């Protein structure tokens, strides 16, 4: 079943929505509701989700892949470089098993570790 899911053309969109819905449910338990956004620049650079609490933000990318590469952190690193005082790091969620430090500002973690 997992292999069949990996072949689905829209699995990435499905996983993004799964994470979004989980964050929206968590947000409702908070007294002060954190902001939850997505970001797309005029050049097309995109960050799937941006979680905002106070002056801090956490950019999040969701990848439907079992392995991640440094290049997968490009949008998160660019976001952190643009907002260094607000975004200390980015979080890349993927279908793997390990927590990895991809770059100076991006950590990759299994989807299951946060859902």
3-24, pLDDT tens digit by residue?
A: 545 567 788 899 999 999 999 9
Q: Closest Cα to residue 89, out of 61, 57, 112? A: 57
pLDDT of residue 3: 53
Distances (CA, A) of 95 to 21, 22, 77, 112: 17, 16, 20, 8
Rounded mean pLDDT, 80-87: 97
pLDDT of residue 76: 98
pLDDT tens digits, one per residue of 21-65: 999 999 999 999 999 999 998 888 999 999 999 999 999 999 999
Q: Residue 59, Cβ neighbours under 10 Å: how many?
A: 28
Global pTM value? 0.89
Report angle CA 44, 16, 31 to the nearest 5 degrees: 105
Residue 34, φ and ψ in degrees, nearest 5: -70, 150
pLDDT of residue 4: 45
Domains of the chain in start order, with CATH, are 2-113 (3.40.1350)
């Amino acid at each position: 079943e997992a292999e069949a899911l990996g072949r689905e053309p829209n699995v990435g969109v499905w996983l993004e929505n799964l994470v979004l819905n989980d964050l929206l449910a968590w947000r409702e338990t908070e007294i002060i509701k954190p902001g939850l956004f997505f970001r797309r620049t005029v050049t097309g650079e995109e960050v799937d989700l941006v979680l905002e609490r106070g002056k801090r933000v956490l950019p999040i990318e969701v990848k439907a892949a079992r392995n991640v590469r440094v290049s997968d952190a490009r949008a998160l690193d660019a976001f952190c470089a643009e907002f260094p005082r607000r975004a200390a790091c980015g979080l890349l969620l993927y279908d793997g098993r390990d927590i990895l430090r991809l770059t100076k500002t991006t950590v990759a973690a299994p989807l299951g570790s946060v859902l």
